[in-house]
Structure 1
Amino acid sequence: MIKSKSNNLIDELKARNSKLTKQNKKLKLALDKKQSAETRSHQIFESSKEGILILDAITGQITDANPFLIELIGFNYDELVGKELWEIGVFKNIAASKETFIELQNKEYIRFEDMPLETKAGNSIDVEFVSNVYVVDKNKIILCHIRDISDRKIAEKALQESGQLYYAMFEKNQTPQLLIDPINGSIIDINSAAMGFYGYSLEEFKLMNLSDISTFPSEKIFEEMKKFTLTGPSYFEFIHKKASGETCDIEIYTSPLSINGQALLISTINDISKRKLEEEKLVLLNNQLNEVNLLKSQFISTVSHEFRTPLAGILSSVQLLQIYNDTWNKKKKEKLFKQIFDAVQQTKSLLDDVSLIDEEQTSKSFFRPTNIQLLPLINEIIEENISVSETKQKVILTSKVAIESYYMDAIMIRHILNNIISNALKYSTKNITISLNKTKNQEIKFTIKDQGIGIPTDEIKYLLEPYYRASNKGAAQGTGFGLSVVKRFVDLHKGQLLIESIVGEGTVVIIILPYLQ
């Protein structure tokens, strides 16, 4: 009888392994999705209208450069990649010493303003050079943004040299600009581009202070204006408010300016909201890719280990039967058949978990509630778990709910109760009790209580995370993702999952499911 069951289960295991092969193909689709995300990042890099360099954060070697930068400085790709930044003559003023590079490594951010840069052809251009350190696939890289600010510098110089020219260029400049009194922060004048950007009229602006359009405290604004006045041209990032109430990230380039003997500040405003959003998306995308890689590694490692143990047991038992089939008595053979049977059951259970996770993640219509007879289903699940348990405990069910249909997903309810009951049997040698009640809100309440080893209090909050297993699990086998699946299934029923436990005394699992219509 056991031999027949074992043969049937082995056939089922083969079918399940075939299904696992298909699931591996789906894992490949996930990797293809990762590749697609990397392609999007590459497209942003290739199409950016700013020069971008990528450096090795340890050595300072250039690992990549985008087309805009290559066109800007006149070097070809091969002349840049593989060289240390300070080896390239065009960047000698930006990274004049390794001390500067060390400063970047330590601070993970550095900015150079008004930096003269000489192209390969010998032309001089003014650039802004901003470097940030990021972590990609556990390796630190330096992302350098290089912006040509030659036109802006020419405009600023012209404003300094001629008040009359200033007014012409100030008004016609397509970039928003403000004239500010450094003493009190009053807005003296604005150009048409600024009126269009902020949504205020000239008359409204002339009654406003810089603090009226900034989300920063007034004290912080005046502190920065003093720096601008004393140190010359400066850069800062703020969040400004428009007339509509909308806020936006901006960068301000501010220089001292004298008009008819009056010391003023001229501020050029650039809206960097889209750039900030793109940077956030890139960081988020990178984090997601790292998370996918980590979860993939954990999943493969865990599942491989869990499959190896029962399969090794099956192989060993089959080999012994092949060798001693003619000499062993029936009792010895039955013992090995029982071991094969148990190992197949363990592998089948693991495959069920993997299949449910895969189906949940790939099917939009995975949650399929129907009217089910709850009590017969629970009794069936209890009998299944008792039949395969190696211990002699009893599972005692008490119910105070009517024998009627309930609108639930039968597959999920079966998996939820199978997981919790099998855990209770696995970690306890005493009887298990299950009570079924209705709450005052007519919710269905399952309470599964064991008198087993219990769970450390500080670890209970981690039990619902994928792959987590309690530190006192001992030799008991498991993948660590069973309870995380249970939690997702309870959530799909819009229910609650509660766990109470005391080490050495046992664990109580409470599941509360609403009465679904």
Structure 2
Amino acid sequence: MYQWIDELKNTQNHLQQEVTELKKKEVQLQKSLSLLRSTLESTAHGIMAVSLQGNILDFNQKFVDMWQIPNSLTLSRDYLQCQAFFENQLKYPEAYSQVISEISNQSDLESSDILELKDGRIFAQYSQPQWLEGKIIGRVWSIWDVTQSSQIEETPQLKPVSWYTLAETTNASIFVIQGWDLSYMNPAAEVLTGYTKTELLTGFNSCQLFKNKKRKQVCNKDLEYQEMKILEKNGTERWLACVVATLDQQQASLEMIAGIDITEYKQAELDLSQTLEQLKQLSELKAQFMSMVCHQFRTPLNVISFSNSLLKRHINECYEEKTRPLLDHIQSGVEQITKMLDDILFFAKAEAATIDYDAKPLNLVDFCNDLITRMQTNDSENRINLLSQGSYLTACMDQKVLEPIISNLLDNAMKYSPIDSEVQFKLFGECGKVVFQITDWGIGIPIADRERVFEPFFRGSNIHNLPGTGLGLSIVKTLVDLHRGYIAVESELGVSTTFTIMLPAVKSKL
């Protein structure tokens, strides 16, 4: 026994070192994510990231402000509702629907377009697939307001004085190129490039300024969207998102370029790819670590459990009264550690999205009743009262993935409730989703703990000596996210706690 205990201690020391290294890497990743978030929020572009399955992953505040998205949509992030909202804002929604259809049929397609809104604003829109290790994992959309630029493009119909005033006062950088020579640039272009008009308008070859042009036809007018890389006077390279127009049909070589600086966006795009790769590596590292923990602990635990059983069987009856409680404590400890290892291993699989998911039509009422029967044995001190919408509610879900979500919440509700109290379990359908709502009348969750309640290994400050691993709610949150569902908690200290889960009722792939 002492030898096994020493082995466990050595294993624990090794694991503590591994945990320390893992935490350092996690802190570094959090810093990278924080920097990426700051970059996305500071850019002048509206940016939205969408998964390959069409779910909205994130968007910055600029995107919300430009589209004037209501709070209800920013909270739900329902892609279909958002798409309907966008179409309702557009002057020509049919063209937008065609673009979405083309992208849906060809996931690696890069797309550019000009969107005219009913309120008179004009947006330039660009989207490209997001790649990770040779696979497309989603799509990033960016938009920016080109209303002023579009007005400038119509300058042939304006009086010369009006055109000049508009060009000189706009924040967009404007260049007019005839052949290879620059014939006009506005003050904003001077600030951007670091060159003066005198330097650029006296025989300066535009090829020295514009280093890269990525042309895309965006409509049937004499108009193109281009991403250009320019070289400033000090040698710095910057990216411009430009609208290029032919000013005179008789002089096809005469072009006007109106552009805005998107260098920060291009850098954020690169940072996003790097951060996604780091996230993937960290997830794999954590999964490997969890598996190693389970392997290291399980072998000595099996030996201890087996030896404990032998001791109980062959112990001398005269010593049984004194030793039996000690052996029971050992067995209880082994069972608790085994439960923790099972939770850790399941959590690692869920977080790394390696769980086999096989959704099939499932009668949720029967499923919940069976689960309650197994959990609520004859010696259970608390009762579970199921309130369902009728006796038959079907959804396409994987029973083995759904079971740990519900069982963990019910187990917590009974564990933290007073003896002989009732746990209320509601089940109903709402707007194409299935809602599970579990309420207990127990100790409640302190306000300071609610923001961290789904963190791995976190346990509330008021649970005292109640046993637990601190992984149950983390597993629940991870599995709900994999279902593309939603979980919320409401609690009043010393009164009650309610967990609400909403899961899609239709089949989806994890």
Q: How does the TM-score come out when normalised to structure 1?
A: 0.49
State the structure with more CA Rg: 1
